[in-house]
Amino acid sequence: MQAPAQLQATIELLDEIHDTHYPADRAMAMYFKQRRYIGSKDKAVISEYFYTILRNKLSFTYLIEQVGLTSNSRRLAAVLLKSLSLDIKQYFSGQGHGPATLSESDFAALNKVSMSLLDKAPEHVRLNVPQWIEPKLKLALGDDFQAEMQASNAQATTDIRVNTLKSTRKQVLHFLSKANLHPQNTPLSPWGLRFDRRVALFGLEAFKQGWFDIQDEGSQLLALVSNVKAGDKVVDFCAGAGGKTLAMAAMMQNKGTIYACDVHSKRLEQLTVRAKRAGVHNLRTHVLSSENDKWVKKHKAMADVVLIDAPCTGTGTWRRSPDSRWNLTPEALNNLVQLQASILESAKRLVKPGGRLYYATCSLLQEENEDQVSGFLNKNNDFYLVSDAFSDVELDHEKVQLGSGQMRTFPERTGTDGFFVAAFEKEVKAEMDSPVEEV
């Protein structure tokens, strides 16, 4: 593909997510699947253009408005060219498979765009943060707000987790070096390897054989600190596609039982495929009708460990899913906070006396993290935060933020997605003292 055709594909992708509201990764996967003639190098350029615009959508829109225009996909693409010091007229020539020519008025206006116009823009515009959520992020991040938001607007690394059921980090490194790929050990996770760019890994034989999986280092840490052991009964209550489920299954050495639950059946179907590839044999899946599914009552007080990676705003993953910030609303946050509290209240029933409940999000917001912890403890005096919950795990205390029974990772500070986890334990006497559960 010629460079203008790559830009036209980017414009089509922007129109696609505007019209369908699909997540960016899904829209892009579908777009490329329908156009198998697009080669890997072209895909890399198109995806880079696409994600750069999504990361900078607010500031690019501001620049468009500063020259008297309203924003659309073609104008966003033109501002991208300006940010890269590329010639707009050369790309919007109307020739071949490139974008149609711009009107004379559009070209004249867009040619006046300068990145220096952002110097006078409001802070939330420069940092590409929705205005309504800016105060909440400042409250949660304090003096680190600007640095963390800049990191959240950078391209994410590609992290993989070595599957210890089938391989070792040394073996995977050796295999990748033979494929002319040279990742570095992740600094925090003992299972992780990191590429500083996007890398095509799914076609590698080592991936197909289940030697490793794609997983952010922060997500790996979340599984690591669960401290599950061989023979445990474990519930991953909001398992999704199951990255943390598989990591915990490896920690358990396929001994004991791990239950993966989710309300989305297709995600669990995908997990079953991934588990087969990974050589995981101690997995059971259950599709929940809701967080209050009858399955929970049936399995009351049976689990040594329950992990809740709760549905959340995903503010800690903006560098990986830059489009998600533009879909957030105050109403959505309120609904999520209510759902998180409901999930906690239901899933706590699965924990046996002396067992642990881990509550986690990939959010940076206090409403979804510390406030949920306080609310849960106020309602449940049979649970307490485990002050030394993470003492058995080697963590870089200069990077990972640790509190009493709580841990946080950050895009800038730890170089990972932003995760929060709180570790609760159920008192051993609680089962005898608790009232009879209502039907």
pLDDT in tens, 14-44: 999 999 989 999 999 999 999 989 998 999 9
pLDDT tens for each residue of 283-301: 999 999 999 999 999 999 9
Q: Which domain holds residue 39?
A: 3-121
pLDDT at 399: 86
* pLDDT tens digits, 40-60: 899 999 999 999 999 999 999
Which whole number is the average pLDDT over 356-360?
98
Q: What is the Cα–Cα distance from 151 to 144, expressed in whole angstroms? A: 11
Question: Contact, 355 vs 398, CB < 8 A?
Answer: no
Closest-CA residue to 311 (of 262, 351, 270, 349): 262
pLDDT tens for 298-354 read 999 999 999 999 999 999 999 999 999 999 999 999 999 999 999 999 999 999 999
| Structural domain ending residue among the three candidates 105, 121, 137 | 121
**Would you say residue 202 lies in a domain?**
no
Least confident range from 154-163, 304-313, 424-433: namely: 424-433
pLDDT at position 430 over 60: no
283, 423: one domain: yes
- Decide if 43 is inside a domain: yes
For residue 126, is it within any domain? no
CATH of the domain at 258: 3.40.50.150
Average pLDDT over the chain, rounded to an integer: 93
Q: What confidence tier does 429 reach under pLDDT thresholds 50, 70, 90? A: confident
In a domain, 180, yes or no: no
Residue 144 belongs to some domain of the structure: no
* pLDDT score of 439: 37
**222 and 89 in a common domain:** no
The reported pLDDT for the residue numbered 436 is: 45
Does residue 254 share a domain with residue 373? yes
- The answer to whether position 319 is within a domain reads yes
Q: In this model, does residue 438 exceed pLDDT 70?
A: no
Mean pLDDT on 138-142 = 97
At 300, list the tokens.
């009351």
- Which of 121, 142, 164 corresponds to the end of one domain? 121
Per-residue model confidence (pLDDT) at position 398: 75
DSSP-derived secondary structure letter, 115:
G
Residues 223 and 354 in one domain: yes
Separation of alpha carbons 35 and 52, rounded Å: 22
> What's the longest Cα–Cα distance across the chain?
79
Q: 82, 100, 121: which is the final residue of a domain?
A: 121
User: What percent of the chain is modeled with pLDDT above 70?
Assistant: 97
Query: What's the pLDDT tens digit per position in 75-105?
Result: 999 999 999 999 999 999 988 889 999 999 9
For the entire predicted model, the pTM comes to: 0.92
* Signed CA dihedral, 211, 274, 297, 424: sign only: positive
Phi, psi dihedrals of residue 67, rounded to the nearest 5°: -105, 20
Residue 176 pLDDT > 90, yes or no? Answer: yes
Kindly state whether residue 172 falls inside one of the protein's structural domains: no
If asked whether residues 291 and 427 sit together in one domain, one would say: yes
Q: How confident is the model at residue 220 (pLDDT cuts 50, 70, 90)?
A: very high
Residue 437: pLDDT over 80: no
CATH number of the domain bearing residue 51: 1.10.940
Distance CA 76, CA 72 (A): 6
Q: Say how many domains are in the chain.
A: 2
In a domain, 142, yes or no: no
* φ and ψ at residue 121, rounded to 5 degrees: -75, 155
- Do 255 and 403 lie in a common domain? yes
Q: How big is the chain by its Cα radius of gyration, in Å?
A: 23
Confidence of residue 394 (pLDDT cuts 50, 70, 90): confident
